[in-house]
Structure 1
Amino acid sequence: MQRNITSYLIILNVLIFIMMFLFGGISAFSNPRIYILFGAQLGNLITAGEWFRLITSMFVHGGLFHIFFNMFALFYVGNLVERAYGKERFISIYILSGLFGNLLTHLFLPGAISVGASGAIFGLIGLLFGAGFRHDTPTMLRPVTGTALLPIILINVIWGFLPGANINNFAHLGGLGIGFTFGWLTPIRYTKGSYQLWRTLSYLSYGLIIASFILLLIFDFRYYIF
């Protein structure tokens, strides 16, 4: 049976988490240097030309609870979106949402080390949220779209503003905004000519992931390991 894209994303996130643990043990998740080695986002590094961290940081997590909750959400929401919208739109919106959330982080939290898939996952939630405001959204999807998602969104945003929460709301809100825009403007069924566009965007998304990790390896060996 062919795996879906959601499964591959979860596997990649978990593999990177395991590699971090093998590299530095439990202390890896409190060591800024190891976060940098594995692709975390940091403003001055991005400004210096390491733009690929806007992508690689989506696959790095800051501890067991962080990756567990993110992968649980990705499994549930990702599978739902992938079945409804198809692989091409799923991966494109996932990467675009995460990228935009990380760009907002770079603008408003340039000094913070930022990691996690939550900006991209919030993009998928935003996609379903926006779909609820379209008249052509299938009835079977109505219970998991639109205002039905509002409590989940509000709880997560409010939680992010609590003292000591250590949650990147800029990534969440950026991803949510991109996802909502696509959900509101894009019909679930492909329109004439749109499939080829989304297919091209999906190839670009895959290429961006691969290129970003290749560049991370090059920069790691050039500047951070030796």
Structure 2
Amino acid sequence: MFVRTESFQEFLKFYPIVSGLVAIHFLLWLFIDIIQLPIAMQILREGIGNNYLVGQGEYWRLVTPIFLHGGFAHALFNSFSLVLFGPALEQMLGKTKFILMYIAAGIAGNVGTYLMAPNAFYQHLGASGAIFGIFGVYLFIVLNRKSLIGSANTQIVMVIFVLGLFMTFSRPGINVWAHLFGLIGGFAVAPPLLRNVRPFSVWQNRAKFANRESKDIAFNPNRWSKGPSPLKKYGKYVFWGIIIFLIALAFVR
């Protein structure tokens, strides 16, 4: 459930919402921090969470901070968490309900920041509130829908939950209210979203896409090819190797 066995191409096909969110994180980081495009800088200025400006009626700032990050390491850590924990939930909920849950949890985290942050001019950005919403859904599953998750994955969820809370309160510069209210938001929206869902299985994805591709069996110009290309064969190892390298680089810096 939380161990990725898909190839890079399969990951993009099976989990388009998670893939799209990660792409948004890094494209915005690239355009804002590296290229510094004028329009990207305008997006940052108009999109960053700001409690004072929310109080002045700029309510879109309860949504836009979900997609912005304060540097490469921030975007990388949240994206890595999303890649690990988002795919199973995207399959279980479906694309529409997953993005609704993600945005609702992110908004809950930003509303909590607006209501509880002591500084009226407090500024914030990042997807961590929405990601804690994912943990909130998993926590609801562990407590109320045990048929959707095995014992091993239950242990993983509880360990991540405890570690997440510990890191929230122990590290400086963390938006504690975004984490807590994002977690509560995910837990709150879980009951209606989890109706009629089935447990995660990567084989469901593979079977679904195999059925779609079987329509082209009548004429397949590649049927006599010598086998998968090296990119397809080793793509997942290259992908995860790059991710691990980037994480190490972020912590070294």
Q: Is the 8 A contact 1:20 1:38 kept in 2?
A: no
Aligned length: 181
Asked if residue 17 in structure 1 is aligned to residue 29 in structure 2, the reply is yes
Structure 2 counterpart of 1:180: 187
Instruction: Provide TM-score, normalisation by structure 1.
Output: 0.71
Seen in structure 2, the aligned counterparts of structure 1 residues 129 and 88 have a Cα distance that, compared at 3 Å, is: same
Seen in structure 2, the aligned counterparts of structure 1 residues 119 and 13 have a Cα distance that, compared at 3 Å, is: same
In the TM superposition, 1:1-226 aligns within 5 A as 2=13, 4-21=16-33, 22-23=35-36, 36-37=44-45, 39-109=47-117, 110-135=120-145, 137-139=147-149, 141-145=150-154, 148-162=156-170, 165-183=172-190, 186-187=193-194, 189-190=196-197
CA distance in 1, matches of 2:136, 2:25: 21
Structure 2 counterpart of 1:202: none
CA distance in 2, matches of 1:112, 1:73: 25
Seen in structure 2, the aligned counterparts of structure 1 residues 56 and 186 have a Cα distance that, compared at 3 Å, is: closer
CA distance in 2, matches of 1:81, 1:50: 31
Partner SS for 2:159: helix
Larger radius of gyration: 2
Q: Is the 8 A contact 1:124 1:176 kept in 2?
A: yes
| Deviation per residue, 1:152-186 (Å, 9 max, x gap) | 22222222222x61001111111111212333565
The one-letter code of the counterpart of 2:189 is F
| Deviation per residue, 1:125-158 (Å, 9 max, x gap) | 110111112246335x55334x542222222222
Unpaired segments of 5 or more residues in structure 1? 192-226
The one-letter code of the counterpart of 1:47 is G
CA distance in 1, matches of 2:145, 2:168: 32
Seen in structure 2, the aligned counterparts of structure 1 residues 135 and 11 have a Cα distance that, compared at 3 Å, is: closer
Partner SS for 2:121: coil
Q: Is the 8 A contact 2:93 2:193 kept in 1?
A: no
Q: Is the 8 A contact 2:141 2:148 kept in 1?
A: no
- The percent identity for this pair of structures is 30
